[in-house]
């Protein structure tokens, strides 16, 4: 169970209608597992990481650098904290967008303690000069600080104590090979199965002292988009509904009614997801349609549609990206209870998508 990542969370925050306030952030922190034994899901990653950490402890050495990739909310920040806890080391947390100059990185690295864990979220968004400095720091535990400018500039070598870098990224393909190659262990975080999310919901409900029936947990898990963080946030909203509208017990009916209030449907689609599908089907006959046109139709920025709504819709098999534009699949028509126009299915060159 893991609900992490300090950034890149627009999809999850949309699902509950607003950003988490301080109370919600405190609750999320309380729900984080403290060691690998408590961590639910990601079986292979946990097994491999456990071996890496145990071997490092047995040698009395600093753990290898770790790269964690995957969608937001799957447990990258949580795992970084677990790595620090397992190695009995302090942890420093920062992010790629915060490091725009090599000097920014040098200041962080020079203040690390021996064995400390440096968690660098969104590592793919770090500036190129800082990235190049990180190569030497990871490999040789040394950085060259440039003093002065032009022909008179000199490089002063700065020795660093051994440390463990834990990098997290939602877009591993944007990392340059020289950076990826310097990580001793890389892991890709997968989306969760409903059964795993049910375990997440049950554990969180126990920690929150919330009464929940198995079918209530299953209802929440089924709408959580394969993401533990979303499961926990939906659980808190359903808890609120159950306390106000019922006797506090979360059943399947109560969960379904609560999530309907927050516009999260049976497949986990929210208002924006459904808006994109409805525009694609009702205004453009299922496509193909360009992304910019689709974004204008739903009143959102192109980047919002592309980065927030599309990945989930594609993963659910409701939308397809083609060279000609975005196209709805038969599952999209079925999900909204609509029938694709005969003329569109017969003549738009997408007959295979509609079963023609």
- Enumerate the known binding-site residues for ATP: 31-32, 73, 76-78, 139-141, 182, 192, 229
Residue 147, pLDDT score: 62
Residue 151 has pLDDT above 70, yes or no: no
Catalytic residue among 94, 170, 304, 345: 170
C-alpha–C-alpha distance, residues 189 and 283, integer Å: 36
Residue 336 has pLDDT above 50, yes or no: yes
Nearest 10 degrees: CA dihedral of 72, 21, 201, 45?
30
Distances (CA, A) of 298 to 77, 159, 260, 278, 351: 33, 53, 21, 9, 26
Residue 179 has pLDDT above 70, yes or no: yes
Catalytic, 144? Answer: no
Residue 29 has pLDDT above 90, yes or no: no
- Enumerate the known binding-site residues for Mg(2+): 77
Residue 150, pLDDT score: 57
Token pair 């198995």 is at which residue?
Answer: 214
pLDDT mean over 141-166 = 76
Catalytic, 77? Answer: yes
What domains appear along the chain, each with residue ranges and CATH number?
33-188 (3.40.50.300), 203-261 (1.10.8.60), 271-347 (1.10.10.10)
Catalytic residue among 14, 46, 76, 225: 76
- Enumerate the known binding-site residues for DNA: 302, 321, 326
Residue 54, pLDDT score: 92
C-alpha–C-alpha distance, residues 311 and 326, integer Å: 12
Residue 35, pLDDT score: 85
Please say whether the beta carbons of 91 and 116 come within 8 A.
yes
Indicate the pLDDT class of residue 345, thresholds 50, 70 and 90. Answer: very low
Catalytic residue among 4, 5, 8, 121: 121
Catalytic, 170? Answer: yes
Catalytic, 236? Answer: no
| pLDDT, tens digit, 9 for 90 and up, residues 313-331 | 888 888 888 888 898 889 8
pLDDT mean over 153-161 = 76
Indicate the pLDDT class of residue 355, thresholds 50, 70 and 90. Answer: very low
Catalytic residue among 9, 62, 77, 345: 77
Residue 146, pLDDT score: 66
Residue 234 has pLDDT above 90, yes or no: yes
Indicate the pLDDT class of residue 170, thresholds 50, 70 and 90. Answer: confident
Residue 337 has pLDDT above 50, yes or no: yes
Residue 348 has pLDDT above 50, yes or no: no
Indicate the pLDDT class of residue 149, thresholds 50, 70 and 90. Answer: low
Q: Which of 290, 284, 354 is nearest to 321 (CA)?
A: 290
- By CB atoms closer than 10 A (0-12, 13-18, 19+), residue 306 is middle
Residue 117, pLDDT score: 92
Residue 220 has pLDDT above 70, yes or no: yes
The strand order across the sheet containing 66-69 reads: 91-95, 117-121, 164-169, 66-69, 185-188
- Report the share of the chain in percent with pLDDT over 90: 25
Mean pLDDT computed over every residue of the chain: 83
pLDDT mean over 168-173 = 87
Residue 23, pLDDT score: 60
| pLDDT, tens digit, 9 for 90 and up, residues 244-271 | 888 888 899 999 999 999 888 888 888 8
- Enumerate the known binding-site residues: 31-32, 73, 76-78, 139-141, 182, 192, 229, 302, 321, 326
Catalytic residue among 199, 223, 229, 237: 229
C-alpha–C-alpha distance, residues 107 and 124, integer Å: 19
Indicate the pLDDT class of residue 344, thresholds 50, 70 and 90. Answer: very low
Residue 349, pLDDT score: 44
Residue 175, pLDDT score: 86
Residue 25, pLDDT score: 64
| pLDDT, tens digit, 9 for 90 and up, residues 68-116 | 998 888 889 999 999 999 999 999 998 888 888 888 888 888 888 888 9
Catalytic, 121? Answer: yes
Residue 282 has pLDDT above 70, yes or no: yes
Residue 153, pLDDT score: 61
C-alpha–C-alpha distance, residues 161 and 156, integer Å: 16
Residue 152, pLDDT score: 58
């Amino acid at each position: 169970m893991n609900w992490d990542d300090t950034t890149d969370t627009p999809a999850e925050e949309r699902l509950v209608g607003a950003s988490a306030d301080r109370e919600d952030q405190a609750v999320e922190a309380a729900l984080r597992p403290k060691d690998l034994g408590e961590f639910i899901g990601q079986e292979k990653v946990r097994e491999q990481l456990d071996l890496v950490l145990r071997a490092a402890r047995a040698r009395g050495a600093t753990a290898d650098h770790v790269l964690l990739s995957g969608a937001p909310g799957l447990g990258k920040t949580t795992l970084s904290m677990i790595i620090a806890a397992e190695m009995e080391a302090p942890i420093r947390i920062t992010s790629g967008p915060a490091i725009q100059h090599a000097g920014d990185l040098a200041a962080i690295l020079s203040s690390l303690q021996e064995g400390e864990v440096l968690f660098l979220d969104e590592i793919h968004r770090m500036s190129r000069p800082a990235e190049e400095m990180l190569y030497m720091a990871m490999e040789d535990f040394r950085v060259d600080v440039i003093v002065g400018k032009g022909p008179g500039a000199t490089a002063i070598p700065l020795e660093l104590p051994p440390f463990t870098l834990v990098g997290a990224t939602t877009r591993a393909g944007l990392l340059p090979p020289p950076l990826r190659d310097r990580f001793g262990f890389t892991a890709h975080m997968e989306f969760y199965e409903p059964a795993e999310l049910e375990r997440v919901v049950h554990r969180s409900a126990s920690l929150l002292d919330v009464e929940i029936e198995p079918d209530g947990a299953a209802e929440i898990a089924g709408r959580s988009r394969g993401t533990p963080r979303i499961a926990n946030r939906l659980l808190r909203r359903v808890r609120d509904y159950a306390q106000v509208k019922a006797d506090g017990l979360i059943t399947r009916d109560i969960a379904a009614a609560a999530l309907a209030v927050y516009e999260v449907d049976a497949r986990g689609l929210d208002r924006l997801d459904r808006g994109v599908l409805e525009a694609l089907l009702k205004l453009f006959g299922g496509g193909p349609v360009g992304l910019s046109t689709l974004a204008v139709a739903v009143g959102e920025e192109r980047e919002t549609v592309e980065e927030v709504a599309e990945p989930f819709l594609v993963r659910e098999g409701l939308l397809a990206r083609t060279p000609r534009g975005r196209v709805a699949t038969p599952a999209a028509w079925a999900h909204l209870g609509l029938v694709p126009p005969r003329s569109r299915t017969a003549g738009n060159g997408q007959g295979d998508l509609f079963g023609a």
